[in-house]
Amino acid sequence: MAQKPSIPKGTRDFAPIEMARRNYIFNTIKEVFRLYGFQQIETPAMENLSTLMGKYGDEGDKLLFKVLNSGDFLSDVEQAELESRNSVKLIKKISEKGLRYDLTVPFARFVVMNRDKLSFPFKRYQIQPVWRADKPQKGRYREFYQCDVDVVGSDSLMNEVELMQIVDEVYRRLKVNVCIKINNRKILTGIAEVIGQADKIVDITVAIDKLDKIGLENVNAELASKGIPAESIEKLQPIILLQGSNEEKLQTIREVLASSEIGLKGVEEVATILEHVRLLGVQTEVELDLTLARGLNYYTGAIFEVKAKDVQIGSITGGGRYDNLTGVFGMDGVSGVGISFGADRIYDVLNQLDLYPAEMLQSTKLIFVTFGNEELKYAMQCLKSVRAAGIAAEVFPEPAKMKKQMGYADSKGIPFVAIIGDTEMKEQKIMLKNMATGEQNLVSVEEAIQMLGGGK
Amino acid sequence: MAQKPSIPKGTRDFAPIEMARRNYIFNTIKEVFRLYGFQQIETPAMENLSTLMGKYGDEGDKLLFKVLNSGDFLSDVEQAELESRNSVKLIKKISEKGLRYDLTVPFARFVVMNRDKLSFPFKRYQIQPVWRADKPQKGRYREFYQCDVDVVGSDSLMNEVELMQIVDEVYRRLKVNVCIKINNRKILTGIAEVIGQADKIVDITVAIDKLDKIGLENVNAELASKGIPAESIEKLQPIILLQGSNEEKLQTIREVLASSEIGLKGVEEVATILEHVRLLGVQTEVELDLTLARGLNYYTGAIFEVKAKDVQIGSITGGGRYDNLTGVFGMDGVSGVGISFGADRIYDVLNQLDLYPAEMLQSTKLIFVTFGNEELKYAMQCLKSVRAAGIAAEVFPEPAKMKKQMGYADSKGIPFVAIIGDTEMKEQKIMLKNMATGEQNLVSVEEAIQMLGGGK
């Protein structure tokens, strides 16, 4: 009967220490969201496949985990369909639900279904797992958390500004050194317009992005190889060689895009956002980066990406403005802007830099150690007062050997031990031992509470 | 292209107000768990079907949501198997993962997989959704949260005592009036032993449970109809008519079970737990209830159930001691005791009794209302100080009409509005309006922070 259990590949258990670390990250982020007036929502793990399919491209459709219909799922399947052995077609007959792939599509669905109840601008955040049937590899999981914050129903650039303030505040609190890269889809559209290559914008940004690695000559060669005429490449030179402060870059782009209305609009949007961010004293480095083009087809205005400066890892936060999130569900004209914090990567960064405050990872602060039932009874009375003061505390639940009890305290990283013996009970005190220093003091429970910083 | 979106039946979205309520419940419970030294873990939503199947009975196997294998899931299925149209058999070929059905089996799996890393007693809590393909109805969902707290690896009854303290503390904090019912599987075994009807214990408890509704005569008739001989029914009379205080009940049962070693052990366990609970000043009513038999086959010692006294609803918390949680995964001899808080029912109780503290449901405390870009800029500077003081605050992101901005503030239940106009900017102040009283004061940002109770 017994089997050696395992978990599905690409999934993880989170043990107490991992949960403590993750909770520290999530609680830090949530507290900042709260300060900025964002409210939490949650959506179901399963969505109808009709909601999910076709929203993430063909590749995305394949990566959706599909849930078998309950009961006799074959009852509606015709014999011929079964015999054709076409998995893709058969899915539609035997599965109508899937696990959510991201938080964006469920959010769009939520907004459309609740349009009459919500007041706009709607500022929501959502922290939940998503599932993708990707090939698992280092740092890539089949179940992972997303942490999205969005404002929908407002065109104001002040939303972009506040999202940058949020990034600044979150990473300041997490003590992670980051750089925010910013771009604007309208600038990219303007560039393509100005050089007459509207359909080549992806090739162009990919090539420009390689400047540092391969040099100007090779970038130009790559552009030519993608079919971009010499004249257009010539016009691109100031963009490829773009350098200097954000202000200098904006000035250069303004000149290049002089003939493009949409391009200039993009420039002004970036300028406005940067000016406000400066006035508000955002400390994080902000860099205008024209090679930033994440989800090009999706974003319509600002594009953001956040990189950790002290760790070699991809983007740890990213997002931008989109103009028709809910259109696919029949609700047009809702503009939104949002960013997503990459919980797993932030976790990796904090692990590598060891940035967890010790007290965040500590659960129990004091454990009582006893060697008899009367002592145990006495300890449980003491515990009442300690816990009432808000101090997490416990007692080893049976009078086991000293070594066993101390080993338990040690493995759980409990910093204080209260040893209870005859003397302690007689004097109505506890022997409080500081595990780091080895110091021991015979003190009253009230004194112990004070020493441990208990409140109330 | 546009479709009217919906969510799978039996699932729910949680809007901000619902999330605030649920977070209040979960945070209250978590804080008590923390004070008692319990640590959080999480397990993946998907488990291997080999882990889940056969653990919940045939009915449970049917209620598991199964996830289709990725890719061409039909490739390993033989033609004959396909043509036989046997859904149950086919599942094994096309699905190897399922959504977790409860938190107990994943926890057992976790303990077995991490046995070498854990230090026992292992005190864990886990708050995650579970999924069951049950027929949805009022109060029964296909996705719902469980909130389990367990100690494994310790036989000490002090664990039972602490779990009762936790129940007492959680419901005191939530201001819900409850009664804890307690029983012990060993007492039930003893009763069956004494009357010579070991296999009829379920029928016996079901019948006894009906005493209040159908009267003694009918209870006895029902017992007879289940094949229990007159002599045994005669011996059962003191049990059926059991009344009085817990001490009186224990005394009666002690006499009835005088010849049953295991029965007397159960009596002493209950007596010990009740005595400690009394000494520790647990305020919640605790009632020994011999008809309590939840999960009879599962529990081996104490059995608990918690009922809300002011709302007609089933059990809102329950649990007990089990002696072989991990045996099915090849790890014997691990005793544990745990309880599960029924989040959805607790939510219903708090809703019905309207027990949410107003400040728990409030997100933003102050909103700035502006009528021009300069005012908006000024408001964003003020916001920095307000948020730095820990006060959740926002600004309507564009200078819209007064009515629109106030309507937004109202719909979000924001209690204070800061109106910014020429005068306010000139005097470097804000016009702070209390939405409940209508009172307005021209104050500095620092004064406003003080009035709103900001810290730091």
pLDDT one-digit tens code per residue, A400-453: 999 999 999 999 999 999 999 999 999 999 999 999 999 999 999 999 999 998
Q: What is the mean pLDDT of residues B129-145?
A: 93
Question: What residues have CB less than 8 Å from B26, skipping those under 6 apart?
Answer: B127, B147, B343
The three-class DSSP label of residue A140 is strand
Q: What distance in Å separates residue B49's CA from the closest CA in chain A? A: 10
Q: What distance in Å separates residue B237's CA from the closest CA in chain A? A: 37
DSSP A215: H
Q: Are A434 and A423 in contact (CB under 8 A)?
A: no
ipTM: 0.93
Sign of CA dihedral A247, A249, A250, A251: positive
Q: What distance in Å separates residue B339's CA from the closest CA in chain A? A: 17
pLDDT at position B3: 64
Whether residue A296 is predicted with pLDDT greater than 80 in this model: the reply is no
If you measure CA to CA, which chain B residue comes closest to A373?
Answer: B158
Q: Are A342 and A166 in contact (CB under 8 A)?
A: no
Could you say which of B65, B328, B411 has the minimum Cβ distance to residue A2? B328
Contact between chains at A7 and B44 (C-beta distance less than 8 A) = yes
Whether residue A277 is predicted with pLDDT greater than 90 in this model: the reply is yes
Apex CA A319: angle with CA A250 and CA A47, to 5°? 160
Tell me the pLDDT tens digit for each residue of B349-371. Answer: 999 999 999 887 778 999 999 99
Contact between chains at A376 and B99 (C-beta distance less than 8 A) = no
Whole-number mean pLDDT of chain A? 93
Q: What is the mean pLDDT of residues B341-351?
A: 94
Chain B hits for A44, CB-CB cut-off 8 Å, are 7-8, 11-13, 143
Chain A hits for B401, CB-CB cut-off 8 Å, are none
DSSP H or E run through B184: strand B178-184
The answer to whether B345 faces chain A, any CB pair under 8 Å, is: no
pLDDT at position A2: 57
Contact between chains at B394 and A367 (C-beta distance less than 8 A) = no
Strands B285-288 and B178-184: parallel
The three-class DSSP label of residue B414 is coil
The answer to whether A87 faces chain B, any CB pair under 8 Å, is: yes
Q: Are A144 and A343 in contact (CB under 8 A)?
A: yes
Chain B hits for A120, CB-CB cut-off 8 Å, are 408
Tokens found for residue B171: 């419901």
User: How far apart are alpha carbons B107 and A86 in whole angstroms?
Assistant: 38
Phi-psi region at B185: left, alpha or beta (left = phi > 0; alpha = psi -120 to 50): alpha
Tell me the pLDDT tens digit for each residue of B175-233. Answer: 999 999 999 999 999 998 998 888 888 888 888 878 878 989 999 999 999 999 999 99
DSSP B137: B
pLDDT at position B295: 60
Chain A segment 321-340 residues within 8 A of B by beta carbon are 327-330
Tokens found for residue A331: 């609700």
Confidence of residue B455 (pLDDT cuts 50, 70, 90): low
Query: Percentage of residues in chain B with pLDDT exceeding 90?
Result: 78
The three-class DSSP label of residue A129 is strand
Chain A hits for B407, CB-CB cut-off 8 Å, are 119
What dihedral angle (degrees, nearest 10) is formed by the CA atoms of A272, A275, A281, A287? Answer: 90
Chain A hits for B37, CB-CB cut-off 8 Å, are 363-364, 367, 392-394, 412
Contact between chains at A41 and B16 (C-beta distance less than 8 A) = yes
The three-class DSSP label of residue B73 is coil
Chain B hits for A40, CB-CB cut-off 8 Å, are 16, 19-20, 23
The answer to whether A343 faces chain B, any CB pair under 8 Å, is: no
Chain B hits for A94, CB-CB cut-off 8 Å, are 68
If you measure CA to CA, which chain A residue comes closest to B79?
Answer: A83
Contact between chains at B377 and A41 (C-beta distance less than 8 A) = no
Could you say which of A87, A112, A121 has the minimum Cβ distance to residue B397? A121
User: How far apart are alpha carbons A273 and A268 in whole angstroms?
Assistant: 9
Q: What distance in Å separates residue A450's CA from the closest CA in chain B? A: 16
If you measure CA to CA, which chain A residue comes closest to B45?
Answer: A143
Beta bridge partners of A320: A303, A338
Whether residue A153 is predicted with pLDDT greater than 80 in this model: the reply is yes
Nearest to B66 by CA among A103, A298, A72: A72
Chain B segment 7-26 residues within 8 A of A by beta carbon are 7-8, 11-16, 19-20, 23
The answer to whether B411 faces chain A, any CB pair under 8 Å, is: yes
User: How far apart are alpha carbons B55 and A298 in whole angstroms?
Assistant: 45
User: How far apart are alpha carbons B382 and B430 in whole angstroms?
Assistant: 9
Strands B440-443 and A285-288: unpaired
If you measure CA to CA, which chain A residue comes closest to B88?
Answer: A72
- Provide the total of helices (H) and of strands (E) in chain A, helices listed first: 19, 16
The answer to whether A155 faces chain B, any CB pair under 8 Å, is: yes
User: How far apart are alpha carbons B92 and B171 in whole angstroms?
Assistant: 44
Phi, psi of A398, rounded to the nearest 5 degrees = -145, 155
Higher pLDDT, B291 or A2: B291
Tell me the pLDDT tens digit for each residue of B18-52. Answer: 999 999 999 999 999 999 999 999 999 999 999 99
User: If 0-12 CB within 10 Å is exposed, 13-18 middle and 19+ buried, where does residue A355 land?
Assistant: middle
User: If 0-12 CB within 10 Å is exposed, 13-18 middle and 19+ buried, where does residue B60 land?
Assistant: middle
If you measure CA to CA, which chain B residue comes closest to A414?
Answer: B37
pLDDT at position B5: 93
Q: What is the mean pLDDT of residues B406-433?
A: 96
DSSP B14: B
Least confident window among A69-78, B146-155, B383-392, B422-431: A69-78
Cα A441–chain centre separation: 45
Nearest to A113 by CA among B318, B5, B120, B438: B5
Q: What is the mean pLDDT of residues A320-327?
A: 89
Sign of CA dihedral B144, B149, B155, B157: negative
Could you say which of B6, B16, B96 has the minimum Cβ distance to residue A39? B16
Chain B hits for A74, CB-CB cut-off 8 Å, are 85, 87, 90
The three-class DSSP label of residue B196 is coil
Whether residue A297 is predicted with pLDDT greater than 80 in this model: the reply is no
User: How far apart are alpha carbons B307 and B299 in whole angstroms?
Assistant: 19
Whether residue A250 is predicted with pLDDT greater than 70 in this model: the reply is yes
Q: Which of A12, A40, A131 to mutate to test the interface with B (most CBs of B within 10 A)?
A: A40
pLDDT at position A3: 64
Whether residue B57 is predicted with pLDDT greater than 90 in this model: the reply is no
Confidence of residue A83 (pLDDT cuts 50, 70, 90): confident
Give the CB-side neighbour count of residue A232, counting CA atoms within 13 A. Answer: 20
How many pairs of residues across A and B have Cβ atoms under 8 Å apart? 303
DSSP A151: E
Tokens found for residue A147: 């942490």
Chain A hits for B44, CB-CB cut-off 8 Å, are 7-8, 11-13, 143
Whether residue A1 is predicted with pLDDT greater than 60 in this model: the reply is no
Higher pLDDT, B151 or B140: B151
The answer to whether A389 faces chain B, any CB pair under 8 Å, is: no
DSSP states of B334-393: --EEEEEE-HHHHHHHHHHHT---HHHH----EEEEESSHHHHHHHHHHHHHHHHTT--E
Contact between chains at A363 and B34 (C-beta distance less than 8 A) = yes
Tokens found for residue A92: 């539609």
pLDDT at position B422: 94
User: How far apart are alpha carbons A362 and A364 in whole angstroms?
Assistant: 6
The answer to whether A85 faces chain B, any CB pair under 8 Å, is: yes
Cα B36–chain centre separation: 17
Q: Are B440 and B421 in contact (CB under 8 A)?
A: no
Apex CA A185: angle with CA A299 and CA A50, to 5°? 15
Q: Are A98 and A64 in contact (CB under 8 A)?
A: yes
Chain B hits for A82, CB-CB cut-off 8 Å, are 82-83, 85
Apex CA A339: angle with CA A153 and CA A31, to 5°? 95
User: If 0-12 CB within 10 Å is exposed, 13-18 middle and 19+ buried, where does residue B227 land?
Assistant: exposed
Chain B hits for A77, CB-CB cut-off 8 Å, are 85
The answer to whether A402 faces chain B, any CB pair under 8 Å, is: no
DSSP H or E run through A379: helix A373-388
Nearest to A171 by CA among A320, A341, A39: A341
Beta strands across the sheet bearing A39-40 = A39-40, A122-131, A143-152, A336-341, A315-322, A302-308, A178-184, A285-288
Could you say which of B43, B329, B390 has the minimum Cβ distance to residue A3? B329
Contact between chains at B66 and A62 (C-beta distance less than 8 A) = no
Confidence of residue A456 (pLDDT cuts 50, 70, 90): very low
Contact between chains at B15 and A114 (C-beta distance less than 8 A) = yes
Confidence of residue B246 (pLDDT cuts 50, 70, 90): very high
What dihedral angle (degrees, nearest 10) is formed by the CA atoms of A403, A406, A410, A416? Answer: -160
Nearest to B189 by CA among B174, B177, B206, B201: B201
DSSP H or E run through A218: helix A211-225
User: If 0-12 CB within 10 Å is exposed, 13-18 middle and 19+ buried, where does residue A348 land?
Assistant: middle
Chain A segment 34-73 residues within 8 A of B by beta carbon are 34-48, 50-51, 62-63, 65-68, 70-73
